[in-house]
A and B are shown apart, each in its own frame.
Chain A
Amino acid sequence: MRVTQHTIATSSLANLQANLGRVSQLQEQMTSGKVINRPSDSPTGTISALDLKAQIKATEQYSRNADDAVSWLGAQDTTLGSINDVLQRVRSLTLTGISTGNSDVDARKAIATEIASLRDSVLGMANTTYLGRPIFGGTTSGSQAFAVDTSDPSATPSPVTYVGDGGQVDRRVNANATVRVDSSGTAVFGPDGASLFTVLDRIAKNVLDDPAALQADLGALDTATMAVRTARTDVGSRYGQAEAARQTADDRVLTLRATLSGVEDIDLPHTIMDLQMQQMAYQTALGATAKALQPSLLDFLR
Chain B
Amino acid sequence: MSSTFTGITTALNALMAHRQAIDVAGQNVANANTVGYTRQRADLTAVSATGHGGLFTKIDAPGWGVEVTSITRIVDSFVDARQRDAHASSAFANAVQAAWTGIEQVVNEPSDTGISAQLSEFWSSWHDVANHPDDVSARSQLLSQARTLASTITSSRAAVDTQFTTTRNQLSAVADQISSTARSVADLNDRIRTAQATGSQVNELADQRDQLVLQLSDLAGATARSNDDGTVDVLLGGSMLVSGTRSTAVRVAGSDNVDNVGTTSPTGPGPVHLEFTDGRSVVVTSGQAGGLMTAMNTVYPSAAAGLDSVATTLRDTVNTVHRTGKGLDDADAAGRDFFSGTSARTLAVAITDPRQVAAAAGDKGSFDASLADSIAQLGGAPGSADVTWRSYVAQIGVGSQAATRRVTLQDSVVKQADGARDSVSGVSVDEEMTNLLMFQRAYEGAARVMTAVDQTLDTLINRTGLVGR
Binding site for B on A (CB under 8 A): 1-7, 10-11, 14, 34, 36, 38-44, 46-47, 49-51, 53-54, 57-58, 60-61, 64-65, 68, 131-133, 138-141, 165, 167, 169-172, 175, 178, 264, 296-298, 301
User: What 18 new A-B contacts, CB under 8 Å, besides A6-B33, A178-B373?
Assistant: A4-B426, A5-B427, A36-B110, A46-B394, A46-B397, A47-B393, A49-B110, A51-B390, A53-B110, A54-B379, A61-B376, A68-B131, A139-B366, A140-B365, A141-B328, A165-B364, A172-B373, A172-B376
Which residue of B116, B369, B394 is within 8 Å of A54 (Cβ)?
B116
| A38-B104, A40-B404, A167-B368 known; A2-B397 Cβ under 8 A | no
Judge whether A46 and B120 touch: CB under 8 Å.
no
Judge whether B422 and A298 touch: CB under 8 Å.
no
The yes or no answer to B276 lying at the interface (CB within 8 A) is: no
Which residue of A2, A39, A131, A165 is within 8 Å of B396 (Cβ)?
A39
Which residue of A34, A42, A58 is within 8 Å of B120 (Cβ)?
A58
B32: which A residues are within 8 A, CB to CB?
5-6
Judge whether A264 and B423 touch: CB under 8 Å.
no
B373: which A residues are within 8 A, CB to CB?
170, 172, 178
Q: Give the 9 A-B CB pairs with smallest separation, nearest first.
A: A39-B397, A43-B397, A139-B365, A57-B120, A40-B400, A4-B428, A4-B426, A40-B401, A139-B368
In the complex, 27 of the A-B residue pairs with CB atoms within 8 angstroms, ordered by the A residue number, are A1-B423, A2-B423, A3-B423, A4-B422, A4-B429, A5-B427, A5-B430, A6-B422, A6-B426, A7-B423, A7-B426, A14-B415, A39-B394, A39-B400, A40-B100, A43-B394, A43-B398, A46-B393, A51-B390, A54-B379, A57-B120, A58-B379, A139-B369, A140-B365, A167-B364, A167-B368, A297-B433
Give bound CA distance, A38 to B368, whole Å.
42
Which residue of A2, A50, A132, A138 is within 8 Å of B109 (Cβ)?
A50
State which of B121-129, B145-153, B168-176, B288-296 sits at the interface with chain A: B121-129
Which residue of A5, A50, A139, A167 is within 8 Å of B116 (Cβ)?
A50
Specify the chain B residue showing the minimal Cβ separation from A172.
B373
A42: which B residues are within 8 A, CB to CB?
397
B104: which A residues are within 8 A, CB to CB?
38-40
Judge whether A139 and B397 touch: CB under 8 Å.
no
The yes or no answer to B195 lying at the interface (CB within 8 A) is: no
Binding site for A on B (CB under 8 A): 32-33, 100, 104-105, 107, 109-110, 112, 116-117, 119-121, 123-124, 127, 130-135, 328, 360, 364-370, 373, 376-377, 379-380, 386, 389-391, 393-394, 396-398, 400-401, 404, 415, 418-419, 422-424, 426-431, 433-434, 437
| A4-B428, A57-B121 known; A169-B369 Cβ under 8 A | yes
Judge whether B427 and A46 touch: CB under 8 Å.
no
A7: which B residues are within 8 A, CB to CB?
419, 422-423, 426
B377: which A residues are within 8 A, CB to CB?
172, 175
Judge whether A43 and B401 touch: CB under 8 Å.
yes
Judge whether A61 and B127 touch: CB under 8 Å.
yes
Specify the chain A residue showing the minimal Cβ separation from B100.
A40
Q: How far is the CB of A272 from chain B (nearest CB, A)?
A: 23
A40: which B residues are within 8 A, CB to CB?
100, 104, 396-398, 400-401, 404
Judge whether B366 and A141 touch: CB under 8 Å.
yes
Give bound CA distance, A54 to B401, whole Å.
24
Specify the chain A residue showing the minimal Cβ separation from B115.
A50
Q: How far is the CB of B457 from chain A (nearest CB, A)?
A: 35
Q: How far is the CB of B212 from chain A (nearest CB, A)?
A: 20
A172: which B residues are within 8 A, CB to CB?
127, 130, 373, 376-377
B422: which A residues are within 8 A, CB to CB?
4, 6-7, 10
Q: How far is the CB of A17 from chain B (nearest CB, A)?
A: 10
Judge whether B426 and A50 touch: CB under 8 Å.
no
Give bound CA distance, A253 to B121, whole Å.
16
B398: which A residues are within 8 A, CB to CB?
40, 43
Give bound CA distance, A65 to B328, whole Å.
21
| A50-B116, A175-B380 known; A297-B429 Cβ under 8 A | yes
Judge whether A4 and B365 touch: CB under 8 Å.
no
Give bound CA distance, A50 to B135, whole Å.
31
Judge whether A141 and B116 touch: CB under 8 Å.
no
Judge whether A53 and B117 touch: CB under 8 Å.
yes
Judge whether A140 and B367 touch: CB under 8 Å.
yes
Give bound CA distance, A84 to B223, whole Å.
96
Specify the chain A residue showing the minimal Cβ separation from B393.
A39
Specify the chain A residue showing the minimal Cβ separation from B418.
A10
Q: How far is the CB of B125 from chain A (nearest CB, A)?
A: 9
Judge whether B415 and A11 touch: CB under 8 Å.
yes
Give bound CA distance, A191 to B398, whole Å.
64
Specify the chain A residue showing the minimal Cβ separation from B414.
A14
| A65-B127, A133-B367, A141-B328 known; A50-B397 Cβ under 8 A | no
B105: which A residues are within 8 A, CB to CB?
38
Judge whether B393 and A141 touch: CB under 8 Å.
no
Give bound CA distance, A54 to B270, whole Å.
40
Give bound CA distance, A137 to B15, whole Å.
118
Give bound CA distance, A63 to B1, whole Å.
116
Judge whether B365 and A53 touch: CB under 8 Å.
no
Judge whether A141 and B428 touch: CB under 8 Å.
no
Give bound CA distance, A178 to B110, whole Å.
31
Give bound CA distance, A5 to B433, whole Å.
13
Specify the chain B residue showing the minimal Cβ separation from A178.
B373
Judge whether B423 and A4 touch: CB under 8 Å.
yes
Give bound CA distance, A3 to B120, whole Å.
60
Give bound CA distance, A14 to B419, whole Å.
11
B386: which A residues are within 8 A, CB to CB?
54
A3: which B residues are within 8 A, CB to CB?
423, 428
B131: which A residues are within 8 A, CB to CB?
64-65, 68, 171
| A47-B394, A57-B117 known; A141-B426 Cβ under 8 A | no
